[in-house]
Structure 1
Amino acid sequence: MADILYFHQNRGPAPEPLWREVLGRSLRATREEQGGRLVDVAERAGISPQYLSEIERGRKEPSSEMIAAVTGALGVDLAGLLADIAGDVRRLRGAGPAGPVLMAA
C-alpha cells in the first residue's frame, strides 16, 4: 500500500484561527440551518443587513452586545454558541499538515 510522506518546512506553528471568522461562520451556519434570511435576522437584531453580513464573513469584530443581539435574533443560547466556537477553534488549530504532501505508490 502507498505511504504518505509529509514534507515539513520550517514555517513554525500554524497561525491561530481568527475568532471573529470562526464566530461568523458559526452564525451564518446557524442562520442557514434555520432557513433564515440575512435581512430578517438583521432586522430582529436591530442592525443593518450589511453589518450582519460583515460579521458572518469575519470582517468585523462585533461587540458583546452585537453578538447577544444576533444570537437573540437567531434564538440560540449564547453559552452553547461560544462552546461550539471554542471546539471549532481547537479543531482548526490542529487541522491537517502545514506543508506539501507527497503521496508515494
Structure 2
Amino acid sequence: MSSHATDRARVIPLRPVPAEPAEPAPKEPLWRDVVGDVLRRERLAQERTLKDVADAARISMPYLSELERGRKEASSEVLAAAAHALGLALADLLVLAHGRLVQQAQQARPVRPLRSRTAPRHTEAQSRLGDVRLAA
C-alpha cells in the first residue's frame, strides 16, 4: 500500500527564494585610490609632468606614479611633500580627497548623515532662538 509519492516529504522554504541572484554590494573606494586620483588630477590640471612633480617633492618618479595609481600607501610626510610640490598644503590635499571619497561613496550607495550618539539634541525652542552649535 506504500507509494513512493506518499513517502516523500514536501519541502517548504522558510524564506522566499529570490527570482534573480542579488547583485554584490559595490566596493567602497580605497583611501589610497582617492588620494592618488587627486594627486594625478591636480598634476594634470597644472600641466606638469611626473618627473617635474617628483623632483620638486624629492621622491622618485616611479614612486609618484605608483601613488597616483593607488598602488602604494604613502606616509604623511610623502603626501605632504607631493602636495607641496603641487602648491597645496597637506590639509588642501586631504580636503580634496575627502570630497572625492564622499562623492564616490554616494555614487556607490546612498550615505546616511552621521549623528553622534552623545551629542545633545536641541529643542524646538533653541532652534527658534537661533542657538548655533558647531561640531569639531
Runs ≥4 in structure 1, deviation > 6 angstroms? none
1:85 equivalenced with 2:97 (yes/no): yes
Give distance in 1, aligned partners of 2:26 and 2:90.
28
Q: 1:9 aligns with which of 12, 16, 22?
A: 22
Larger radius of gyration: 2
Which structure has greater helix proportion? Answer: 1
Q: How many angstroms does 1:10 deviate by?
A: 5.0
Equivalent residue, structure 2, for 1:25: 37
Q: How many angstroms does 1:15 deviate by?
A: 2.2
Which structure has greater strand proportion? Answer: 1
Q: How many angstroms does 1:77 deviate by?
A: 2.3
Q: Secondary structure in 2 aligned to 1:94?
A: helix
Q: How many angstroms does 1:30 deviate by?
A: 0.3
Give distance in 2, aligned partners of 1:8 and 1:80.
43
* Matched positions, count: 90
Equivalent residue, structure 1, for 2:65: 53
% identical equivalent positions: 46
Bigger RCO (CA 8 Å, 6+ sep):
1
- The one-letter amino acid of 1:94's match is Q
Give distance in 2, aligned partners of 1:58 and 1:8.
31
Give distance in 1, aligned partners of 2:88 and 2:77.
15
- The one-letter amino acid of 1:59's match is R
1:71 equivalenced with 2:58 (yes/no): no
Q: How many angstroms does 1:14 deviate by?
A: 2.6
Report the TM-score, using the length of structure 2 for normalisation: 0.61
Q: 1:42 aligns with which of 31, 43, 54?
A: 54
Report the TM-score, using the length of structure 1 for normalisation: 0.77
Structure 2, unpaired ranges of 5+: 1-19, 110-136
C-alpha contact 1:14 1:93 (8 A) present in aligned 2: no
Q: How many angstroms does 1:56 deviate by?
A: 0.3
